[in-house]
Structure 1
């Protein structure tokens, strides 16, 4: 059994930049940190699982002035060479680091391989210099360093291994336990929240609101949030609870996907999941009379439901987890915040799944802000409809008799039903790269 505090600490953490290129940089940094000299590197070979390859291919990397690329992510990690920073490793990326990384890329010694046989998150980085070699492997979770080698010999005792491995083993065990619960159990976990938890949740709100406010002020990336706000000012649309949620959620994604050097508070291993899980709920509170602790409870429920769904779908898949997992989490939180019963909360989850089940993940990129705008709006609308008694029926498509069955069905679609879809998406993306 796990406490709500343990769940939040395992599933919610700050991350700077899209977590896939960050994970690549982290793995490269871990390998580089084992070397006494990284000035005379002869070759760098990196193997990536298909989903991580897909999500890291085209998204902007923090500290690079909007640049992207797998090779650049690898090079940045080697130049920074500080894996202790974990998912905030790119906080050290500046113009000097970028110049050095680009010079390393120009040498043509970095080779990135697509490992089609790997499932789940997998990164294998090998570095060879004139006199020594190193290797680092990340598996299952973005900062889960499972193996380190120097000159072909496996390293058993290393702080990077002992600290992270123990934590991630707990995550796997926790998610297995979490998946065995029902919705009532998830709601009951909120009873154990304490002041420390409220402070931690508020930190997530502040972190993600900073991204949203930057996006609204500067309109980076695709500029979806700022465009919707502009349409409100032009009286082309009106601002209400749903529109406001779309504005802030997409604005934060605009900033994050353009590589702005501001962290996101992630949820279930994804920064964009964190934006969707938190921001719509925080915006809804502006329209209702609730005390702040109830808002924090709603956000905690959102994180828990998001983690619950991801325990079935996996961390990366062919479906957009920001829409399905975090969108459902946010809708559950909103229904809770508005005084909904277990029936309303479960109905909100069903409504989001019925609404957004077909949204595919075609990699991380600027266009994710469009998907987050959709997810943020659907989270609000689905909760409001559920509170009015409008709930997707169990006779409809993939909707199960319960919210739990519905979420498990999404897991089957993600892990069984969309394997060919995922492969086709990646092939299209790779073909585009070669045709540029």
Structure 2
């Protein structure tokens, strides 16, 4: 197992995404398969997804037109007008004509969706055009196209395919996650010393991308309008805009915009745009309340991304546990402690406090209500950091808390990957039953 550089971590874990990453990944798979047919008319589109992809693509808005949502819609949009070369910004190429064509395709009943028992992120898309059939498979990560074929023949020379597997048949993601899981919290914090000027510029770009989403949400609302409501409560002097409220407002507003279908990208973290909002925006809000130089803020955001990736390596990319809460929330609280001058012991306490607070938050799919959970995660990230800096730390005798932050995170991973399997199935059953009733 080799070591990875911070530049590799950022490149692999942090990327811009236009729209919720699950429907976007579905659109990417459809666009990639359709590209192999060289523009021929599409007669049928068949999609197989794992339960968590289905859950997160079930009802969230798609940033391609007002009122658009659903896995069938995102796959149709990707097939008729998506540009797979854009990766997780595949829907950036969608225009009004593509929307009309996709809706007509759906109305004709040419799209089928099936849920697979596959564990882990999985999307298989089959596009049929006359006597030709093209397929794509995305596995492990939202933009990792691991297989392309045309008429049953593997396509091996496409630039759309992800990097080849590493030693022992493992993917780069598997190798990176195994390496991340081998690190201590102190070693992760030490990685912040390795950021160079290029890394810092990339981190700043991510901040700017997510702040634009927050500003859109504060100005226009969208989704549930949580951020705008908090802003209104502050203006009415019902709430005071302290660092806790500022963090909640900024983060929720960005989620409102994103879950409401705003055609603006988010800088994702560990494969999720909402993770990226939670990992970045609470830190950006808190910096206005403390004395801190700009480089330290950027490094705090970089640390947040790395801790988010570290927790996700344990919990899995998609599960019944809300990753915005326990993974990106852990990242954000770590960054806040770093920015406020805390050491590794304060960081450990903050992560432990946050996991004790939010471990029970479930993921019941991507939707407008996610803004409420991001609001909670942002508030807990600030609160957990402040408590730890004041010497208030949850003890290892409590519940799933371990004797170290590493053990606590490993316990969280066990809960997510083993203990919540039936919970995940139950959530999906409830959502499917609701769909049938509606």
Normalising by structure 2, report the TM-score: 0.97
Residue among 217, 238, 242 paired with 1:240: 242
Please tell me whether residue 226 in structure 1 is matched to residue 228 in structure 2. Answer: yes
Q: 1:55 is matched with which residue? A: 56
- CA–CA distance in structure 2, aligned partners of residues 158 and 211 of structure 1: 33
Deviations 1:243-278 (A, max 9, x none): 000000000000000110000000000000000000
Root-mean-square deviation (Å): 1.2
What pairs with 1:172-211 in structure 2 (closer than 5 Å)? 172-211=174-213
What count of residue pairs does the alignment treat as equivalent? 433
Change (3 A) 1:292 1:422: same
8 Å contact kept, 1:33–1:81? no
Please tell me whether residue 299 in structure 1 is matched to residue 305 in structure 2. Answer: no
- CA–CA distance in structure 2, aligned partners of residues 285 and 384 of structure 1: 13
Deviations 1:377-414 (A, max 9, x none): 00000000000000111000011111111111110010
Structure 2's unaligned 5+ residue stretches are: none
Change (3 A) 1:165 1:95: farther
- 1:19, distance to aligned residue in structure 2 (A): 0.2
Q: 2:134 is matched with which residue? A: 134
- 1:164, distance to aligned residue in structure 2 (A): 7.8
8 Å contact kept, 2:255–2:370? yes
Q: 1:17 is matched with which residue? A: 19
- 1:38, distance to aligned residue in structure 2 (A): 3.2
- CA–CA distance in structure 1, aligned partners of residues 82 and 16 of structure 2: 20
Query: Secondary structure of the residue that 1:38 maps to in structure 2?
Result: coil
Deviations 1:212-263 (A, max 9, x none): 0000001111000000111111121111000000000000000000110000
8 Å contact kept, 1:145–1:165? no
Q: 1:278 is matched with which residue? A: 280
8 Å contact kept, 1:143–1:164? no
- CA–CA distance in structure 2, aligned partners of residues 69 and 165 of structure 1: 32
- CA–CA distance in structure 2, aligned partners of residues 216 and 100 of structure 1: 33
Query: Secondary structure of the residue that 2:137 maps to in structure 1?
Result: strand
Residue among 254, 261, 281 paired with 1:259: 261
Q: 2:98 is matched with which residue? A: 97
Please tell me whether residue 157 in structure 1 is matched to residue 157 in structure 2. Answer: yes
Change (3 A) 1:144 1:385: same
- CA–CA distance in structure 2, aligned partners of residues 170 and 317 of structure 1: 21
Structure 1's unaligned 5+ residue stretches are: none
8 Å contact kept, 2:82–2:91? no
8 Å contact kept, 2:83–2:91? no
- 1:169, distance to aligned residue in structure 2 (A): 2.8
Please tell me whether residue 79 in structure 1 is matched to residue 73 in structure 2. Answer: no
- 1:37, distance to aligned residue in structure 2 (A): 4.2
- 1:146, distance to aligned residue in structure 2 (A): 0.7
8 Å contact kept, 1:124–1:136? yes
- 1:137, distance to aligned residue in structure 2 (A): 0.5
Normalising by structure 1, report the TM-score: 0.97
Change (3 A) 1:298 1:152: same
8 Å contact kept, 1:66–1:258? no
- 1:153, distance to aligned residue in structure 2 (A): 1.3
Change (3 A) 1:67 1:346: same
- CA–CA distance in structure 1, aligned partners of residues 130 and 173 of structure 2: 39
